[in-house]
Amino acid sequence: MFLFAPIPWYSWVAWFVVLAALIGLNEVTRRWKWAGLGFFVLLPVLLTLFVWPITAGPDSSTGTWFHWVKVYSALAGCLGFMAIRYWPKLSGNKWVLIFPAAILAINIAEACIRDFQVGAMGANGMVDGVFMLSGPWNYMNGVAGLINLITICGWFGIVVSSDRSKDMIWPDMLWFWIIPYDLWNFAYVYNCVGDHSFYAGAALLISCTIPAFFIKKGAWLQHRAHTLALWMMFTMAVPTFATSSMFAVESSHNPVALFTVSAIALVSNVALLIYQGYVIITRRLNPLRDELYTHLSGYQQVRAANVAAELPAADEVALAR
């Protein structure tokens, strides 16, 4: 195969189990606060004390600085988003709304640094327990990630949904930003931990994109933080699952495949940058202050579904008075 070695049927079954588990656990942790606290506070404390020092040590494929930083930054995002969702004083403070954009930017920057680092290694073999092949694709995708980072916009428009789940809704984060992010992030995983990318690339990214498009629109970043934290906790506890278990699927380590996925990621993010620049110029907007896509139906639908829902309740209070 072009991207991967031949994939047996039981690995496909495992892939769909991982996908379903991530989507399902994301639904549980976003709908019930107690579940979020259990998975993102209690469980990481137990894993940090009793599991990860053994399973994610220096000889493990998940024992690098990147994996440790990634799991804690993902957990910080989950907890920060929960604070915004459940503490009205925070969600009403415009400056606090910089936090979601900042934690997203930090996560993207971490991956870009790693892509550039792998590119500079000149690697062609096992590094940190993972097969790596350095090349121009690392630099291409690092640039794609930086473009994705600078096109983050509209964080001052973040709201908390008025339904029972109290999701963190970011109306300006529409499909034409999410898809380039997915393409860039898959290319990053494929470049830097290629033998993990069947699960940590494809399944993980799809697990947050499906709910963002079909279950709870506008909450992509929340979905992303939850599924990423869940996956990182699992893979640091069971690092052999994606690399040496019977379900593991190796990358093809094909230079053409590496170049192709990074080229697609770069092109998609350049297109995003051009479109965003066009919107900023023609609508005379400030990307550090303004929401950019308020004129689009996708934005308007997300905003209406999560903000206008508060109006009936307000009307009932007025009538009661």
pLDDT single digits (tens) 269-298:
999 999 999 999 999 999 999 999 999 999
Cβ-proximal residues to 228 (8 Å cutoff; 6+ apart), any chain: 70, 74, 77, 107, 204, 208
Phi, psi of 160 (to 5 degrees): -100, 130
- CA-CA distance, 165 to 162, in Å (whole number)? 8
Question: What's this model's pTM, rounded to 2 decimal places?
Answer: 0.93
68 in a structural domain: yes
**Number of independent structural domains in the chain:** 1
Q: Is residue 162 within 8 Å of residue 310, measured between CB atoms?
A: yes
What pLDDT shows up at residue 312? Answer: 44
Is residue 29 included in any domain, yes or no?
yes
Mean pLDDT across the chain, nearest whole number? 93
pLDDT at 316 over 50: no
pLDDT score of 317: 34
Query: Using CA atoms, how far apart are residues 31 and 82, in angstroms rounded to an integer?
Result: 11
Residue 3 covered by a domain = no
pLDDT of residue 310: 45
- Exposed/middle/buried for 161, CB within 10 Å: 0-12, 13-18, 19+? buried
**Residues 6+ positions from 59 with CB-CB distance below 8 Å:** 129
- Stretch 51-79: mean pLDDT: 87
Residue 150 has pLDDT above 90, yes or no: yes
How many Å apart are CA 135 and CA 28, to the nearest integer? 41
pLDDT of 315 above 60: no
**Residue 317: inside a domain:** no
- pLDDT tens sequence across 1-21: 899 999 999 999 999 999 999
Burial zone of 259 (CB within 10 Å; 0-12 exposed, 13-18 middle, 19+ buried): middle
Q: Give the pLDDT score at 140.
A: 98
Range of the domain at 231: 9-312
With respect to residue 1, please indicate whether it lies within any of the assigned structural domains: no
Tell me the pLDDT band of 80, cut-offs 50, 70 and 90: very high
Task: Tell me the one-letter amino acid at 18.
Answer: V
168 found inside a domain:
yes
